[in-house]
Structure formats: structure tokens, C-alpha cells
Amino acid sequence: MTDSATAAKLEGVIAALAIPMFEDGRIDTVNLEKQLVYLTSSGIRGLFLGGTTSEGAYLSTEEKLEIFRTAKRIAPSDKILCAACIQPSTRQVVDEMRAFAALGPDYIVAVTPYYMSVSQAAIAEHFRILARESPAPLIMYNIPQNTHNPMALDTVMDLASVGNIAGIKDSSGDFISFTRGVLGGSGEPFTWIQGEDLLDGPAYLVGAKAVVTGLSNVCVDPYLEIAAAAARGDLRAAMEMLGRGRRNMRLPGLTLGDDELGGIRKVLVSQGLLGSAHRFPEANGGKK
């Protein structure tokens, strides 16, 4: 549980920052800054740094810290910065949280323990320890398709009253549990944040106040429009895409090939968001 003011900051569109990388896996700092300027000059509430869209599980702690420093330098002071400490064990998360403490994140984010299967009791203890140790309000992050350790709704609701836990980003796609959490309420200042882009519209319809979106890296405007429409009670929504950045991923096998990029191009052209004459850069273009 946190106070109402802390919970209220978790409203609107929070962009899950994608990290541009060169083919060899190094971070492309020039395009990183461009992406940060694009996002933070829009009407987003803040940035979600080091999560799944950032490939946080594959970044070193020092890389995460440098990304955070860059974001803090570029982002206006009214944008919240959420630092995701994606680590497999409680102690590793605590160590990474402490490394972030001096940088002043607005929120710390952590997933359930992963690699080993763990019980709900172990998950609850994990987050209780993190809440005690965290230098900023804690956002729990439920993404069982990656951690293989889902958070049961009862576990989340029990943890909602724990000191220094501000809310949960739910990327499970389990909209029934998400809806029950939003509508059931915990009686505490606790925020349910939708983390699956395709469920953002429905999430607003059931009363959610915030989303974390990865596709906002491509085009943030539709997500801002959806949020504004929800605030007005206007139920219309739309999705658009606009290409920018690099295709490379930290794990080379995840980098998009030319055929896949061609498929994306067709979608962008069909939506009128990209000219038919536009060419994507060659696979090795811009290599350093």
C-alpha cells in the first residue's frame, strides 16, 4: 500500500521504452536519445525502463543504469520514471534496486522469481522483502509467459495492502483476473496497470487508469487518444504504426529478418502510415 498521491501518479500512458541496438548487441545511444525525445515530448505520463520491451533480462545492471541516466537527463521533470529490476532471485533484485537508489527512480518494478518454479507463498514473500528494501514505491510485474511463475489474483490482493507496494503491471493477458482486480478493489491506494497492448481499450472500459505500452515506441498518438477518450467517456479507439529505430535485438536470433520487416512494411503502407516507395535500411545499415 502507498498513499493516494503516489498511486495517482500511475495514471495514463506509460511508454515501455524499446532500446535500439547495433547488430553486435551494443546500445545505439544516438537512436536511444531520439526515441526518448519522441516519447517524452508527447503527452505520456512516464517511462517504463528495463522491462520486457527494453530486453531488461538481457541487460547488465550498468547498462540499465546508463539507460536510466539518459532518460532522466532527457525527460521533463513531470514524467515519472519506472526502473524495472528484472532478475531471477530476490537477492539479485535487491542488489539492483540499491544500485538505482542514488538515481532517484519514481518507482521500482520487479517480476516474480523465475527459472525455478515457486509457490504463491514464495512469490508473496519475494514481494514483501522487495517492498521493505525498495528505495521507491514498488510495482509488481506479472508476466508469467516469461517468468513461468504466475501471480494468482488472491496473492495480488493480499499484497495490495503491503507498505510500499503501489500497484501491479499485469501483462498476463488474463483479462478475467485483471477485471476482477480492478472492479473488486482492495480498499487501498493500489493501481492495476494493463501491460498487454491489445487489452488497453477493454482495460479502460472496466475502470483501469493506466497502461504500459510497448507499441507506443512506434506511434504513441493512438494510446494517448485512447486514454483521453476514456477520460472523456468516449469509447472510440484506433491503432496506428509508424516505423522508427533499429531492428536489432540483444539476442541475435530475435532480430527481425528482411522478410519479417517486409511484412511490417506492408502493414504500415496499408494503413497509410508509410509511403509505398519507402525502403527499410539494409540489414547491416548503420553498423558500427
**Mean pLDDT for the chain overall:** 88
Q: Considering only CA atoms, which of 11, 86, 22 is closest in space to residue 56? A: 86
One domain for residues 207 and 64 = yes
Q: CB under 8 Å to 23, separation ≥6 — which residues? A: 248, 252, 255, 283, 284, 287
Angle between helix 29-40 and helix 61-74 axes, rounded to 10 deg: 50
Q: What pLDDT sits at residue 112?
A: 98
One domain for residues 176 and 43 = yes
One domain for residues 182 and 265 = no
One domain for residues 191 and 287 = no
Q: Which domain holds residue 267?
A: 256-288
Percent of the chain with pLDDT over 70: 86
Task: Give the mean pLDDT of 38-42.
Answer: 96
Instruction: Give Cα 91 distance to the centre of its chain.
Output: 22
One domain for residues 152 and 206 = yes
The domain spanning residue 98 has which CATH number? 3.20.20.70
Q: What pLDDT sits at residue 241?
A: 31
Q: What pLDDT sits at residue 271?
A: 58
One domain for residues 200 and 284 = no
The grid coordinates listed for 105 are 527512480
pLDDT band at residue 17 under the 50/70/90 scheme = very high
One domain for residues 151 and 107 = yes
Strand residue runs (E) in 6-127: 12-16, 46-49, 80-84, 107-111
pLDDT digits (tens, 9 = 90+) for 181-201: 999 876 678 999 999 999 999
One domain for residues 280 and 163 = no
Task: Give the mean pLDDT of 169-177.
Answer: 97
Q: What pLDDT sits at residue 5?
A: 83
pTM for the model: 0.83
One domain for residues 266 and 166 = no
Q: What pLDDT sits at residue 259?
A: 76
Do the domain assignments include residue 247?
no
One domain for residues 176 and 111 = yes
Count of domains for the chain: 2
> What residues pair up with 193 in beta bridges, in sequence order?
169, 210
Phi then psi dihedrals of residue 142, to 5 deg: -100, 105
One domain for residues 169 and 60 = yes
Do the domain assignments include residue 261?
yes
CA distance 191 to 206: 13
Considering 54-58, 234-238, 265-269, the range whose residues carry the highest mean pLDDT is 54-58
Neighbouring CB atoms inside 10 A of 166's CB total: 29
Do the domain assignments include residue 122?
yes
For 82, the 3-state DSSP assignment is strand
Q: Considering only CA atoms, which of 188, 205, 193 is closest in space to residue 168? A: 193
